[in-house]
Amino acid sequence: MRNRTITLSKKLATIILCASMAVTTFTGCSMGNDDAKENDKTTETVTESTTNADEDTEETTAKVPAEGTGTATKAETVYVTADATGTVKEITVSDWLKNKDNYQTLTDATNLENLEAIKGTEDLGQSGQDLSIDANGNDVYYRGTLPTNTTLPVSVNIKYTLDGKEITSDKLEGATGHLGIHIKYTNNSKSDAKIDGKKKEINVPFLAATMLMVPSKKINHAEVEHGKIIEQGNSNVFLGYGFPGINESFGLEDGGVFTDTVDFEADVENYSSDMMMTFVTCEPFASEDLKEAVDFETVSDSIKEAADLKIDNLNDIHSLDDVEKLVDKLNKDLSKLKKGTKKLNDGSKELSDGAKKLQAGSKDLNTNYATFNSKMAVLSDGMNTAYTGAKTLNTNMKTAYTSSKTLATGAKQVSDGVNQLSTAMTGMYATITKSISDNDTKMAQLKQALAQAKPGSETYTKYFAQLNQLGGANEALKTIKTQMDRAKLADNLKALSAGAKQVSDGNTKLSAGLSKLYGGTKQISTGLATLNDGTTRLTAASKKINKGTGTLYKGTKALYKGSKELYTGTNTLYKASNKLGGKFGGNLSPLVDTTKAMRNAAKDYTTFTALPDGGKGTVTFVIKTE
């Protein structure tokens, strides 16, 4: 009976701990202070129960002895409470030291105030900013606070308008009219880098994502810029995102490729919101996938080779609509290219007819023709270069198309992962419900046994202790089940799953758009091949003029007309492709260096507090707006 009770206690503690972590992930920031304190008590109860169960199990299960001193990977979560405008009111940091190497003693560093050990140890062994923790092979959890004037890496500023007029946040509750919410993300974290051989300061790249939940009955005609709206149950979920500071790092003007604002608009009646939270992380930019997605060095070399074949406004592609517009533009330029080739052929014919009229050579003829012949050689060389550049551009567009398919695959994997999480959470909810029912049955049995036992006897004491243990664990499970019900966890997971699917579908469309663009560049390459062949024939025809005699007045006039038309056609192509290098003028070194520098800055941003020498970590920010 003793061993069975121990096993049941550990199982209950594990379920409680996993469920607590899941609820905290989705709803922890929406708790008031009183709820948070009550949740802390529950966590302490679960921790104590788990610890006691572990100690009992040691009697029958041998544990690998912990030994040595070392550092653990620190998983850090920074919880920020802000008022409705984004002003910080409280900063709490939770640190989890993952002791995967089974160290007896863990060393760590922190600048947190009001330190408190949560699990894994009772004493953090603090000496200044250094921690020497007797972990005994366990993971260690602790938390602390930071002053509210601590500068966050990304600050969030929120402004509100009602019927076009700015209002203060205290007038939001119960408002009726056309509501606008403008969110501005500001990057406050800098990093030194070397860009194109020069020292430069860049911003550490962050992704900021804000979620706002509003009851459906209070809102109509909702719109969001830089985000999505998901109607889920009785709520509308607004999802907005931004990449603060990246435009500045690339030296792009305001309104560049990467947004740092989100705008929500809707007609509201007696307005109220269930929750607004913002998540900030640099993890996506530290991924190895970013390094392998595009081979920037190859693209840079190719653009240098194709300096005379530049596609206008290539750097202004912001969406699938822009891709389609560019494809249409390429098709129009191809039509002009074909017309120019026809005019080139006609000009060649006129040149041939003029050569037949030659009767005698002259000094002026020889002089003028020598100049013309040299220009034709330059034209031929230029067309060869343009043709080579077109083939290079075609190859690079094929590479971009392949990379877009890789991104689409990654987006689908994210969507599948979210669906798996939703299934797991549904299973956990069912397990908790069954555990509560089983415990109620066992408690009823223990109460009957206790009534028959003699008070003060060993049997009575044993039943009484088991009844208290089951009662405490059951209350903790019921608390977590209530929190999961209150948080509408299933609805939120469905909304997240739908959003992930939309991202996956969007990447698929992007891949299709790039496929169209790739087809357009192939047409350009084919057109240039035809034009190049025409100039070769023109050059060959012009060499026959050396054998002619007599006057070339009419023939050279026709030649001039044909060459002028040739110039007009080729000049149209030149103007249409004059900005391939865009801002970088064909030199992608600044782009390559900036991308690498931002990725390195993201990889180096591993804590908001402190790490010991050689320590590793990750950090995520969760900002709850009241």
pLDDT for the residue numbered 263: 96
**CA–CA gap between residue 163 and residue 140 (Å, rounded):** 51
Assigned domain for 399 exists: no
DSSP symbols for 127-160: ETTEEEEE-TT--EEEEEEE-TTPPPSEEEEEEE
SS3 label, residue 533: helix
Assigned domain for 437 exists: no
- If 0-12 CB within 10 Å is exposed, 13-18 middle and 19+ buried, where does residue 320 land? middle
Assigned domain for 197 exists: yes
Reference 592, options 306, 311, 392, 302; nearest CA is: 302
Contact 562, 343 (CB under 8 A): yes
Residues in the chain, how many?
626
Relative to beta strand 617-625, strand 73-82 is parallel
Q: In the numeric block, which tokens belong to residue 31?
A: 């708790």
Strands (E), 169-273: 177-187, 190-195, 198-203, 207-215, 219-225, 227-232, 235-242, 261-268
Mean pLDDT per 10-residue segment, the chain (626 residues):
32 34 36 40 38 42 77 96 94 97 96 95 92 95 97 96 92 93 96 92 95 92 92 89 92 76 95 91 79 45 40 39 44 49 52 51 59 67 72 74 72 72 76 86 86 85 85 84 70 71 71 70 70 68 54 54 51 39 61 89 95 94 94
CB atoms within 10 A of CB 228: 16
Number of domains the chain is built from: 1
Gyration radius of the chain's alpha carbons: 35
Instruction: Return the CATH number at 261.
Output: 2.60.40
pLDDT for the residue numbered 238: 92
pLDDT for the residue numbered 476: 84
- If 0-12 CB within 10 Å is exposed, 13-18 middle and 19+ buried, where does residue 312 land? middle
Q: Could you tell me the end-to-end alpha-carbon distance of the chain, in angstroms, rounded to an integer?
A: 50
pLDDT for the residue numbered 381: 75
**What is the enclosing helix (H) or strand (E) of 474?**
helix 458-486
Domain that holds residue 225: 154-294
Burial 608-621 (b: 16+ CB within 10 A, else e): bbbbbeebebbbeb
Contact 76, 94 (CB under 8 A): yes
SS3 label, residue 595: helix
Assigned domain for 193 exists: yes
Burial 37-56 (b: 16+ CB within 10 A, else e): eebeebbebbbebbeebbeb
Assigned domain for 586 exists: no
CB atoms within 10 A of CB 381: 11
Amino acid identity for residue 42 in this structure = T
pLDDT for the residue numbered 134: 94
Q: In the numeric block, which tokens belong to residue 133?
A: 């923790």
Assigned domain for 189 exists: yes
Relative to beta strand 126-127, strand 113-119 is unpaired
Reference 256, options 325, 183, 320, 316; nearest CA is: 316
Reference 142, options 105, 101, 112; nearest CA is: 112
Assigned domain for 213 exists: yes
pLDDT for the residue numbered 560: 56
Q: In the numeric block, which tokens belong to residue 227?
A: 């985000």
Assigned domain for 52 exists: no
Q: In the numeric block, which tokens belong to residue 3?
A: 């061993």
HEC string for 54-92:
HHHHCCCCCCCCCCCEECCEEEEEEEEEECCCCCEEEEE
**CA–CA gap between residue 72 and residue 65 (Å, rounded):** 17
**CA–CA gap between residue 158 and residue 84 (Å, rounded):** 7
